[in-house]
Amino acid sequence: MRLEGKVAVITGGASGIGRATVDKFVREGAKVLIADISLEAAERAVAEVDAAGHAGMTAACRVDVSDFAEVEQMVATAVSTFGKLDVIFNNAGIAGGTPLLDHDPAKDYVPMIRVDQDGVYYGILAAARQFRDQGTPGVIINTSSIYGEQAAELAFSYSAAKAAVISFTRSAAYELAEHGIRVVAITPGRVGTAIINQFSDELKTVFASEQLRNTMTQPSEIADVVAFLASDEANVINGTVVHVDDGYSVFKQRLDLPVF
């Protein structure tokens, strides 16, 4: 088990990619603080992990990642519960979009920046200070997006926040390397989470066609990569963006080729 003995915090851990990553980390031997805006959902996830035969490996914590004091308390809770911190997966986020000219900044810009951008910054800062104070190495993994590297439909604020996550990752890796702290970002493509599954089958078919396997990525597939990045096997992966987009970023669309 590659994460044996490690303690992790996973934000947005009660659903989607976060929830799948909780299961993967526990199977790999880690103890996990499941942090989520919904304490009820986090506690339900703990109960599910316990029922699967991993009692005592997880704990629940409510956190609003847009509030630095709550993020600091989240890290403190992980340490008081499990004795230390080794990994944080800054994964919590929100999505949505409105045409730019129709923006209400208070609705269409500020919340996205507060959660998807500031929330990652707060997680980086709180975890890095804990690693420093422990005097131990640590790993910080941040969820960006394919939208953080390109323009996309209805994604002005979302793309800006996810681009900031990539910049945070590179700068944090540079500054924190002397403390033995690695920082990595992942850029998921079209993942079959509740955010996407709410759409019509027709739209989901279009989304799937944007990836090379012509199918949606499953949250568990992202979790597999995150677990590797959190492990000592990934020690040379630092300050980089790991594309987990099934080729979304390498092509525009499939064409019927002419016969030569």
For residues 109 and 106, what is the distance between their CA atoms, to the nearest angstrom? Answer: 6
Residues in contact with 246: Cβ distance below 8 Å, sequence separation at least 6, in sequence order: 189, 190, 211, 212, 213, 215, 217
Alpha carbon separation from 58 to 87, 90, 164 (Å, rounded): 14, 17, 30
* DSSP structure class, residue 258: P
Q: Could you tell me if 183 and 173 are in contact, meaning their C-beta atoms sit under 8 angstroms apart?
A: yes
For residues 17 and 187, what is the distance between their CA atoms, to the nearest angstrom? Answer: 12
For residues 1 and 190, what is the distance between their CA atoms, to the nearest angstrom? Answer: 29
Catalytic choice (121, 147, 158, 248): 158
For residues 239 and 236, what is the distance between their CA atoms, to the nearest angstrom? Answer: 10
Q: Could you tell me if 123 and 73 are in contact, meaning their C-beta atoms sit under 8 angstroms apart?
A: no
Number of residues that make up the chain = 260
The backbone region for 157, taken as left when phi is positive above 0, alpha when psi lies in -120 to 50, beta otherwise, is alpha
158 is catalytic: yes
Q: Kindly list the catalytic residues.
A: 158
